[in-house]
Amino acid sequence: MATMPLDGLLVLDLSQFLSGPYAALRLADLGARVIKIERPDGGDLCRRLYLTDTEIGGDSTLFHAINRGKESFAADLKNPADLAALWKLIGRADVVIQNFRPGVIERIGLDWATVHARHPRVVYASITGWGTEGPWVDLPGQDLLAQSRSGVTWLNGDEDDGPVPFGLAVADMLAGATIVQGVLAALVRRGVTGTGAHVETSLLEALVDFQFEVLTTYLNDGNRLPTRSNFRSAHAYLAAPYGIYRTRDGWLAIAMTPLAKLMPLLDLPELAPYAADAKLGFSHRDDIKRLIADHLARKTTDEWLAVLQPADVWCASVLNWPQLLASDGFKVLDMLQTVTRPDAVRIDTTRAPLRIDGVRPATPSAAPRIGEHTAALRAEFAL
């Protein structure tokens, strides 16, 4: 792509782990130049946050995934000379991202009020665990803890399972995506007013927003908590057949479908008593799902898809990663790329989840080594 939407913008990523670096990654995918500010002695702690025992170029695959395309400037923020150099970079930056615990960035002297006073055009983004006020402010802000306090773990799994967390760092990813929305809006406003803004969110706020549909139902339904299905639960509020079912050779997902429509397609007359009253699809979810599950187990996933898809039943096969990557539906999206680094590091990873003017952005550079670009940046910006 000849020109990216954020070409010419400079982002300083003072954050670590996932939420802030994810926001910086999305801005990089849109064309921004991202300089990652890291401690010389070890850098971003995410470099040593391993998902498996795989290490590439001395860093975890997680770090590589979320920091591709960035430059690394090593700076000890307790060192006056390094801090002075960082202030020079801030003076050239359009966006600053940080996710320190509340109070830490103030002690360093790089908080929003101080940055704004010296460089009012800067858009400053802050991500915390719980916000900046209240009894949880000083507690660790981590993804699993945020999931647990937010209510999302209670929504997952069957009724007797107890709370079930997502198998992904959804709080971090959603908080990062939320910050990007705010940063882009603040940049648009700055184009009109010439003044930056302080964009803030937290892991908890992002997860509350993630639940806005079901929370709105709860708040306007007499504060009645929904009861999860105790068999193949997929949504606390939605009626049967909504769920995932085992077939003879795999799994099949069935979304919102009237039982009266599904009954003849499955040749399952036992559904007739429930199909006559839509309310029974909720009050008798477990009974209905067990009937459907026993029946679907008799044929393969493809055999059921051949029956259900032509009838416009909302259904899909359940794929694992090898099956997804081998599918034509995934291949046509062209979402994978190989990024490289001068020390012969090669990483197979994903590409941006959006297209601009029909083109998906690509990032040829792998995540940097600690301080890999420090000397070049000092020379470029006269630091």
Domains of the chain: 10-210+335-381 (3.40.50.10540), 243-326 (3.30.1540.10)
Q: What is the mean pLDDT of the chain?
A: 95
Residue 279 is predicted with a pLDDT of: 86
Hey, which residues does 245 pair with through a beta bridge? 252
Asked if pLDDT for residue 1 goes beyond 80, the answer is no
The secondary structure of residue 365, as a DSSP letter, is B
Please tell me whether residue 282 adopts helix, strand or coil conformation: helix
Q: Rounded to two decimals, what is the model's pTM?
A: 0.94
Q: Percentage of the chain surpassing pLDDT 90?
A: 94
Q: For 71-126, what is each residue's pLDDT tens digit?
A: 999 999 999 999 999 999 999 999 999 999 999 999 999 999 999 999 999 999 99
At 259, the amino acid letter reads L
Residue 52 is predicted with a pLDDT of: 82
Q: 337: part of which helix (H) or strand (E)?
A: strand 336-340
- Work out the pLDDT band at 51, boundaries 50, 70, 90: confident
Residue 2 is predicted with a pLDDT of: 65
- Work out the pLDDT band at 211, boundaries 50, 70, 90: very high
**Beta-strand pair 198-202/55-56:** unpaired
Query: Distance between CA 188 and CA 198 in Å, rounded?
Result: 13
Please tell me whether residue 179 adopts helix, strand or coil conformation: helix
Rounded mean pLDDT, 319-348: 96
**Beta-strand pair 251-254/243-246:** antiparallel
Asked if pLDDT for residue 371 goes beyond 90, the answer is yes
The structure tokens 């990007």 sit at: 180
Q: For 312-331, what is each residue's pLDDT tens digit?
A: 999 999 999 999 999 999 99
